[in-house]
Amino acid sequence: MPTRLPICPRCQSNLYVRVEWILSGRRVSGAYYCGHCHHEWLVEAAGPVEAGERRTAQRRKLVRVETKRRP
């Protein structure tokens, strides 16, 4: 994550710019949001940032055991 936040392309200020992470399924991507003019843009558009998978471990498989029903 960058230490200096970029200048907002709309209002040309970086006082209210913050980084937000967008979680969509297993994909994670970053975006900048300006709280002054409510403009948002993707981090990838401003420069390369590492965005990876949210899950690294495999999910456990559910094992179902069928039982006989009593009449």
pLDDT tens string 11-29: 998 899 999 988 888 888 8
Domain ranges of the chain: 1-71
What is the pTM for the complete model shown? 0.53
Determine the pLDDT at residue 69: 74
Q: How many percent of the chain have pLDDT more than 90?
A: 30
Q: Is the pLDDT of residue 49 over 60?
A: no
Token pair, residue 47, equals 């420069």
Tallying the residues shown for the chain, one arrives at: 71
Q: List, for residues 57-70, the tens digit of each pLDDT value.
A: 566 666 777 777 77
